[in-house]
Amino acid sequence: VRNFDRSQLSDSALLTASEQHDSDEYAAIAEHLADLGEIEARKLYAAAGYPTMVAWCMAKRNMREQKARKRVRIAQSARQHPALLHAIADGRLHLSAALLLLPWLSEENVDDLIRLSAHRSLTEVESLLREWTGRRNVSITLESPASSDDSGNMLSARTATTSDTPAESAEAPLTMTPPAPKPITLLVTVDEDGQTKLRLLRALLGHAVPSGEINQIFDWMMDLSIRHLEKRKYGATDRPRRSAKPVDPESRYIPAEVRRAVRERDADQCTFVSDDGHRCECRTRLEFDHIVPYAQGGGRTIDNIRLRCRTHNQYEAERMYGVEFMKNKREQAAKRARTETAEVDPDRDIVPWLRSLRFSAAEAKTGAKACAHIPGAPLEARMRVALQRLTRVRPRAAVNGVAV
Ligand SMILES: [Zn+2]
């Protein structure tokens, strides 16, 4: 039976007990993080019907989203850098400091960074990182890890010059994503090309966005892109019709009317159901999955196609064919995509997307080429690379106002 009555303890016994309980708490948190890391690695969240580890933590461990994101991030990083868990377990590193360090950790610097951050306040760790990185802002983002081209590698190059004064203001803040779903602020740098395009867009949008406000233009562009992508992905249309031309039975292409019907039947939601009956609630990045695999003669019929989130599409395939097989298959596909530029899956082809943004055919081709090295990346990521190449727009910071 637990005894929470402290009134009988002497002062020194109370302090000793309190110290013990603190250290028990740190150790328990580290154990808990190790659990999360292993649960994610075994994809037990997918088996339970959740698209991500964060969703699983929220549903099964009653964590609030922010807490779940933080813990999962640290747990993931600790798989690579177990030293983090040891530092957390013995109270040297608190979770907020660990979170701040994550984007910068590498094999080479992890021990140094932990040593320097030991028993430091959050503010002290922030200023330590500013010195290390030469950046004015070292806030973390919980949405996605700092983009690889912008963070990790830079630190090892800079470790030799930690005593340098931080770089001038040209070095913009890295990322900043506010914790709650408040409006976020984007700041992008647009070069001459981009400015020309923006002027053109403003002029063309005269009626649709009379104010010419950049946030409204941005909103309009997102709407357009979403409509366009939904159409490509799901065959969404205001005026559905049966496709007139007969489809090649050998083709993997899923006819638009099948995609529409499947989407309606599955209500735009992943159809994976766990053994204990939980249906995955994921409604983003859905994919059309063949129930009887295409390779085994499964047809492109409404009955044989279902919606699955990325996680569960992959999970099911791994369960059926084995993790190694699927890994090889993905690698082969990536290799093929690198060598063959001609044949592109229509859902993943970014050329029409670029064309809809009024890039010329030649520009669209250049954009597609620019992201040919990451064929396995999500469409958004590939679009970002293509647009960076075409407009040389670099996301830089996130302070007040969308600067143009
Ligand atoms: Zn799912």
Please state, in angstroms and rounded to a whole number, the distance separating the CA atoms of residues 102 and 80: 11
pLDDT of the residue at 77: 95
Q: How far is the CA of 44 from the centre of ligand 1 (A)?
A: 13
Cα torsion 90, 96, 98, 99: sign = positive
Cα torsion 248, 250, 253, 258: sign = positive
Output the CA angle 138-376-313, nearest 5 degrees.
105
Helix, strand or coil for residue 280? coil
Q: How far is the CA of 287 from the centre of ligand 1 (A)?
A: 10
E strand or H helix at 29, and its extent? helix 11-41
Q: How far is the CA of 272 from the centre of ligand 1 (A)?
A: 5
Q: How far is the CA of 273 from the centre of ligand 1 (A)?
A: 8
Cα torsion 222, 224, 225, 230: sign = positive
Please state, in angstroms and rounded to a whole number, the distance separating the CA atoms of residues 180 and 146: 19
- Tell which phi-psi region holds residue 102, choosing left (phi > 0), alpha (psi between -120 and 50) or beta: alpha
223-267 pLDDT, tens digit per residue, is: 888 888 877 777 666 666 555 555 555 566 788 899 999 999 999
pLDDT of the residue at 327: 81
pLDDT of the residue at 236: 67
Q: How far is the CA of 155 from the centre of ligand 1 (A)?
A: 37
Six-digit token string for 111 = 């021990």
pLDDT of the residue at 194: 84
Residue 402 per-residue DSSP state:
-
In this structure, what are the phi and psi dihedrals at residue 390, rounded to the nearest 5 degrees? Answer: -80, -30
Per-residue b/e over 338-356, b at no fewer than 16 CB within 10 Å?
Answer: eeeeeeeeeeebbbebbee
Output the CA angle 79-30-106, nearest 5 degrees.
35
Model pTM score: 0.57
Q: How far is the CA of 349 from the centre of ligand 1 (A)?
A: 24
Ranges under pLDDT 50 in the chain: 144-179, 341-344, 393-404
Six-digit token string for 362 = 């030649």
Please state, in angstroms and rounded to a whole number, the distance separating the CA atoms of residues 88 and 90: 6
Six-digit token string for 237 = 């249309």
65-108 pLDDT, tens digit per residue, is: 999 999 999 999 999 999 999 999 999 999 999 999 998 899 98
Q: Name the residue with tokens 């799901």.
A: 234
pLDDT of the residue at 363: 84
In this structure, what are the phi and psi dihedrals at residue 49, rounded to the nearest 5 degrees? Answer: 95, 30
Ligand 1 (ion): residues with CB under 5 Å are: 51, 270, 272, 280, 282, 309, 312
Please state, in angstroms and rounded to a whole number, the distance separating the CA atoms of residues 281 and 268: 10
pLDDT of the residue at 398: 38
Please state, in angstroms and rounded to a whole number, the distance separating the CA atoms of residues 215 and 401: 9
Please state, in angstroms and rounded to a whole number, the distance separating the CA atoms of residues 196 and 58: 45
Q: How far is the CA of 59 from the centre of ligand 1 (A)?
A: 14
Q: How far is the CA of 264 from the centre of ligand 1 (A)?
A: 17
Q: How far is the CA of 289 from the centre of ligand 1 (A)?
A: 11
E strand or H helix at 395, and its extent? strand 394-397
CB atoms within 10 A of CB 223: 11
The contacts of residue 79 (CB under 8 Å, 6+ apart) are 37, 41
In this structure, what are the phi and psi dihedrals at residue 276, rounded to the nearest 5 degrees? Answer: -95, 15
Q: How far is the CA of 49 from the centre of ligand 1 (A)?
A: 6
Q: How far is the CA of 310 from the centre of ligand 1 (A)?
A: 7
